[in-house]
Structure 1
Amino acid sequence: MSHHHSASSLSPSAAAVNQDSVIDSLISAEPHHSPPPDYLRRLHRRHVHVTRRQDSVNWILHAHAHFSFRPLTALLAVNYFDRFLSTAAVSFDGDNGWEFQLLSVACFSLAAKMEEPEAPSLSDLQVSEPRFVFEPKTVRRMELWVMEQLNWRLRSVTPFDFLHYFIFNLPQSSSFNHQSFLWVCSDLIVKTLRVIDFLGFRPSVIAAAAVISAAGEGVVIPESYYAKVNKEMVRSCHRLMEEYLVDTCPWGNNGVRKLRRSDEPPASPDGVLDAAACVSCGSCSDDGVLVPATFSGYQDK
C-alpha cells in the first residue's frame, strides 16, 4: 500500500502527527490484508499441504528473480497465495499439484499487474520450465477466483509500508549507507517468505525487526522505537531473523548486515518444515535457488 505525502507543506510537528496517523491507519488495516491467525497453526498441523505451499513459494521467488521484479511484487504474490489458501471456501488436498501451480501463476500475475510497470504475458510468466503450462484463459479464471476470495483487496499492507517509519526512528547517531541499508532491510523482508513461522508476525512487526537486524548489535534501540508495535513480538521476530536469515559472519564491506544465500535453508525443524521438505524433493536451479521438483497441471509439455 503506497502513500505519498507533501512534506514541504507541513511543519515538522505537523508532519510527525500526519505520519503517526498514517501508521495507525495501516496498523489497523493489517488484519484485513493477512491470513487469519489460525493459518500458521493449520500449516504446522499439515491441514494445509505444507510441501506444496513451499514449492509454490519457491517458484514465485524464482520467477521473481528471473524477471528482476521489485521486492514488493514477491510479497504481494505470496500474500495473495496464503490469503486465498486460508479461506474456508478453498480446499486443495495437495494430491493434484497443478492446483497449487495454477494458484502460484495467478497470484504472481496479479502481483506483477499491481506493482510492475510492464507485466509479462501470461504465457511468458510461466518460467522455470514447469512440467505443465496453463493457457491464459485458465490463468485469468483463476485470477478472478483469487480476487473474489480476497474481497478485491489487492493493495495489501506489507512490511514495506512501515520500513521508512522504523528507519526514521533509529537513533540519530546511527551511521550507514542509506541505500545499502535499505537493500538489506528489503532483502531480509523478502527472505522471510521462505520460513513459515514469519506468518505469525504482522507486517509492522516484521518491518521493525528487519530494521533492527540490519542495523546490527552496535545500535541501541530506544523504547520510543516500539511505540506502535509490541516490543516482545518484535524481539521474537528479530531472533527468528538472526537465527535463520542472517549470516554468522554479520558484517559486509558496506557496514551493513550480510545475509544468508537464498539456497541456505535454516536448520530449525519448526521454522523450516517446508524448506527441508523441498530440499529432500531435490530440485535446485543453477544459481542455487530452490525451485519445485515437480508440478502437475492441465497441459503436459
Structure 2
Amino acid sequence: MGFLSAGGASPSSSLLCEETSLLCKETMDDVFGCIDGEGELPELGAAGLDFLAFPLESEEVVASLMEKEKEQLVHVTAGNYLQRLNSGGVVSSWRIASIDWINKAQAHHNFGPLCFYLSVNYLDRILSIKEPRPEKPWVQQLLSVGCLSIAAKMEETLVPRCLDFQFCSEKYKFGTESIKNMEIFVMSSLNWRMQAVTPFSYINYFMDKFTQGKPLSCGFASRCTELILGTLEATKFLQFRPSEIAAAAVLSAATESHAVDFSSALIASNIPVNKQTVRRCYEAMQEVRLVKKSEEGNASPSVPKSPYGVLDASCFNFKADDSQTPGSSQTDSDNNNHVYTAANKRTKLDA
C-alpha cells in the first residue's frame, strides 16, 4: 500500500495525504532505518521520567533529575548522532527544516517555550535512533507535525485539531489518521517517555546558587528562556546536558543584569555540575552570538529580544500534568508579537 495518495491539484501544488492512505506502525519501520540497537532506548524504570515542578530547592530532587537527564539523552549525546549532524547529510537537513517549521508553528499557535523545547527534544531523540530516508522527503514534515502535536498535548491548555497544525503553505498536507499514526510511532519509539527533563527544570535552583538572593531585573526569567531556546538550533549544544545549559543561561542572564560577575560567581558557587563544562557552554553561547562580552568583561545580549521577551518569572511556577483539554488554537492579531502568559498554561502541581 502506498504511503501517500495524490489529491486534487492546487495552486500551491500541495500533495494531500488522504486518510485512506494511512501510516501504520508497521510501515513506519520502512520509513525510517533503525540504528544504535534497532532504536531501543534504555529502560528508565516503571515510572519513566518525572517532570517536576519549579522551584526545585531540594538537592536530592536535583540529583535525581540529573540522573534522569543522563538516561534520557544517552543517544542524543552520543558521538554518532553529532557526527551524522555535522556531516551535513540528510539527518542534518531534516533537523534544520523541522526546527524552522516548529518555530513558526508554535509562534502561530501561541504555544509556550516549553512546548517548543519538548518538540525539538522529541525530534532529536527520534533522529538519533532512526535514519531518515532521502527518497521519502514528506516524512520530515510529518515528523515535525507529530513532534509538535505531542508536545502541545503535553503542555498546552488549548490544543488545535490535528489538521490545524498545518497552518501555512506546506508542500504536503496530511490527514488526521496519518498524523495520529506518526504520533504513535514517535511515542512508541521513545518508549512512551514523553515527560522530559529540560533546562527549565533547573532555573530557580541555579538562580539561588548564583545570586544568593540578590535582586534581579524583571526580565531575568525572560532572558533565561530566550537563551535556553537559542541553544536549540546549534548542534554544538547537544553535547551539553539540560542542567549544564540551565547553569550557563542563568549565570549569563544574572551577569547581564549586573547582579553578579560571571567568573567570580561560577568559582564561588557550590553546584553539582562541572564548572568547566558550564564555562564551555557559555563560550558556545558566545560563539553563536547568544551573548557577547562587554568591555567590562560582563556578558551582554547581542541579539534582538524574541517574542518570549514578554515572559516573566510566573512561567516558572507551572508544570505539565497527565491530563489534557483539547480546544481551538489562539492567534495573535499583532503578527508574531505573541504573548505567553500563565493563563494559557495548565496549572502545574508540585510533586
Question: What TM-score, normalized by structure 2, do the two folds share?
Answer: 0.65
Determine the C-alpha separation between the residues in 1 that align with 2:112 and 2:278: 25
- CA drift of 1:243 comes to 2.7
Larger Rg: 2
Give, as a single letter, the amino acid of the residue that structure 2 aligns with 1:244: V
Among 97, 116, 120, the residue aligned to 2:156? 116
- Verify the 8 A CA contact 2:112 2:156 in the aligned structure 1: yes
Give, as a single letter, the amino acid of the residue that structure 2 aligns with 1:260: V
3-state SS of the aligned residue for 1:133?
strand
Partner of 1:157: 197
**Unaligned ranges ≥5, structure 2:** 1-49, 307-334, 337-351
Among 64, 68, 85, the residue aligned to 1:25? 64
Change in 2 beyond 3 A, CA 1:226/1:194: farther
Partner of 2:267: 223
Determine the C-alpha separation between the residues in 1 that align with 2:131 and 2:165: 25
Partner of 2:301: 258
What whole-Å deviation, never above 9, does each CA across 1:161-196 have from its counterpart, x for those lacking one? Answer: 11111111123364322x410000001101111111
Change in 2 beyond 3 A, CA 1:228/1:140: same
- Verify the 8 A CA contact 1:166 1:225 in the aligned structure 2: no
Partner of 2:137: 97
Partner of 1:69: 111
Partner of 1:193: 232
Among 238, 243, 260, the residue aligned to 1:204? 243
Partner of 2:174: 134
- CA drift of 1:224 comes to 5.2
Please report the RMSD computed on the Cα atoms of aligned residues, expressed in angstroms: 2.7
Give, as a single letter, the amino acid of the residue that structure 1 aligns with 2:69: E
- Verify the 8 A CA contact 2:230 2:290 in the aligned structure 1: no
- CA drift of 1:29 comes to 0.3
- CA drift of 1:247 comes to 5.5
3-state SS of the aligned residue for 1:53?
helix
Partner of 1:125: 165
Change in 2 beyond 3 A, CA 1:47/1:55: closer
- Verify the 8 A CA contact 2:91 2:131 in the aligned structure 1: no
**Unaligned ranges ≥5, structure 1:** 8-14, 251-255, 264-285, 288-301
Determine the C-alpha separation between the residues in 2 that align with 1:164 and 1:214: 13
Partner of 1:283: none
Comparing 147-156 and 211-220, the one that deviates more: 211-220
Question: What TM-score, normalized by structure 1, do the two folds share?
Answer: 0.75
- CA drift of 1:62 comes to 1.0
Give, as a single letter, the amino acid of the residue that structure 2 aligns with 1:140: K
Identity %: 37
- Verify the 8 A CA contact 2:209 2:270 in the aligned structure 1: no
- CA drift of 1:37 comes to 1.6
Determine the C-alpha separation between the residues in 1 that align with 2:291 and 2:281: 16
What whole-Å deviation, never above 9, does each CA across 1:122-178 have from its counterpart, x for those lacking one? Answer: 11111232111111100110110111110100001110111111111123364322x
Aligned length: 248
- CA drift of 1:65 comes to 1.2
3-state SS of the aligned residue for 1:152?
coil
